[in-house]
Structure 1
Amino acid sequence: MSYSFLTLTPAEKQERRRQLNLSGTIAWFSPIVILLTVYIHRKLLRPLLSQTFPSNFLVQWRRVCWVLGTKTSFSPEFGPLGLQLFGGAYFAWLVVLIFRATGQDYMHLAKAFGHVAVSQLPLSYLLGMKSVWSPVSLATGLSHERLNSWHRLFGRMVHMLAVVHVGMYLNFFVQNGVLGKRIKDWDVLWGILAFGAFSLLWVLSLPFVRARWYHFVFYRSHVVLSAVVVVALWWHVPYTRVYVGLAGLVWAAGAVVRTWGSSTLVKARCETVEGTELVNVVLEVPRESAFANGGPGQHLYIHADGFGPRTPFTIASVGGEEKGPVTVRLVVRNVGGPQTQWISHMAKSREVREVRIEGPYGGYGLSLPDMVRRKEQGPVLMVAGGVGATYIIPIYIALVKQRRSTAGKDEMVRMVWLVRRFADAAWGIEMLKAVGDDLEHCGVDVYVTRGSVGFDVEMEEQRSPELTKHGVGVHKLGRRPDLEPMIEGFFAVSRREGGGMPDSGLRLHNPIEARKRQMAMEEATVFVCGPGSLAGDVRDVVGRQVIEEGRQVRWVEEVFGFGGT
Structure 2
Amino acid sequence: MSDSPWRWHFISLSDDDKLRRRELLNIRGSYAQWSVIIVISVLRLYQAWIKANSKNDPSSSRARRGSVSWWDRPLVTGWIESRKHYLVCGLWLLWLTGLSIWKSGGDYLHFTKALGHVALSQVPLQILMSPAAYISTSRPSAASIFSYLTSTPQSTVTPYHRLFGRIVITPLLAGHAILYLLFFVQSEHPEYGTLFSKRVRDYDVQCGLLAISTAILLLVFARPRASQARPIVGSMRERRRSFYYGHVFLVAILCASAYAHVSQAQKFMLQALGASLLNGVCSFAMVRWGGRA
TM-score (norm 2): 0.77
Q: CA deviation at 1:121?
A: 0.4
Q: CA deviation at 1:255?
A: 4.6
For the structure 1 residues 179 and 136, does the alpha-carbon distance in structure 2 shift closer, same or farther, using more than 3 Å as the test?
same
Is 1:166–2:188 an aligned residue pair? no
For the structure 1 residues 258 and 46, does the alpha-carbon distance in structure 2 shift closer, same or farther, using more than 3 Å as the test?
closer
Taking the aligned partners of 2:132 and 2:155, their CA distance within structure 1 comes to 8
Kept in 2: contact 1:110–1:168 (CA 8 A): yes
Q: 2:43 aligns with which of 38, 46, 50?
A: 38
Q: CA deviation at 1:246?
A: 1.0
Kept in 1: contact 2:143–2:154 (CA 8 A): no
Aligned position for 1:70: 72
Is 1:149–2:174 an aligned residue pair? no
Counterpart residue identity of residue 19, structure 1: L
Pairs within 5 Å for 1:501-516:
none
Q: 1:187 aligns with which of 172, 195, 204?
A: 204
Query: What SS does structure 2 have at the residue aligned with 1:161?
Result: helix
For the structure 1 residues 121 and 77, does the alpha-carbon distance in structure 2 shift closer, same or farther, using more than 3 Å as the test?
farther
Greater C-alpha Rg: 1
Query: What SS does structure 1 have at the residue aligned with 2:69?
Result: helix
Kept in 2: contact 1:227–1:251 (CA 8 A): no
Aligned position for 2:17: 12
Query: What SS does structure 2 have at the residue aligned with 1:188?
Result: helix
Taking the aligned partners of 1:142 and 1:49, their CA distance within structure 2 comes to 17
Kept in 2: contact 1:6–1:105 (CA 8 A): yes
Query: What SS does structure 2 have at the residue aligned with 1:240?
Result: helix
Looking at secondary structure, tell me which structure has more strand per residue.
1
For the structure 1 residues 125 and 77, does the alpha-carbon distance in structure 2 shift closer, same or farther, using more than 3 Å as the test?
farther
Is 1:138–2:65 an aligned residue pair? no
Taking the aligned partners of 1:256 and 1:50, their CA distance within structure 2 comes to 33
Q: CA deviation at 1:138?
A: 1.4
Identity in percent:
29
Counterpart residue identity of residue 72, structure 2: T
Pairs within 5 Å for 1:260-279:
261=285
Taking the aligned partners of 2:223 and 2:79, their CA distance within structure 1 comes to 9
Number of aligned residues: 260
Kept in 2: contact 1:127–1:148 (CA 8 A): yes
For the structure 1 residues 180 and 126, does the alpha-carbon distance in structure 2 shift closer, same or farther, using more than 3 Å as the test?
same
Taking the aligned partners of 1:129 and 1:212, their CA distance within structure 2 comes to 16
Q: CA deviation at 1:80?
A: 2.0
Aligned position for 1:365: 292
For the structure 1 residues 129 and 246, does the alpha-carbon distance in structure 2 shift closer, same or farther, using more than 3 Å as the test?
farther
Taking the aligned partners of 1:78 and 1:216, their CA distance within structure 2 comes to 20
Aligned position for 1:197: 214
Taking the aligned partners of 1:151 and 1:128, their CA distance within structure 2 comes to 6
Query: What SS does structure 1 have at the residue aligned with 2:264?
Result: coil
What do residues 49-77 of structure 1 show as CA deviations (whole Å, max 9, x unaligned)? Answer: 56899x9xx89x959x9425532223664
Q: CA deviation at 1:248?
A: 1.3
Aligned position for 2:85: 83
Kept in 1: contact 2:122–2:169 (CA 8 A): yes
Counterpart residue identity of residue 154, structure 2: H
Q: CA deviation at 1:200?
A: 1.2
Taking the aligned partners of 1:154 and 1:75, their CA distance within structure 2 comes to 20
Counterpart residue identity of residue 116, structure 1: V
Looking at secondary structure, tell me which structure has more helix per residue.
2
Counterpart residue identity of residue 97, structure 1: L
Taking the aligned partners of 1:167 and 1:244, their CA distance within structure 2 comes to 22
Counterpart residue identity of residue 243, structure 1: F
Counterpart residue identity of residue 23, structure 1: R
TM-score (norm 1): 0.42
Q: CA deviation at 1:139?
A: 3.0
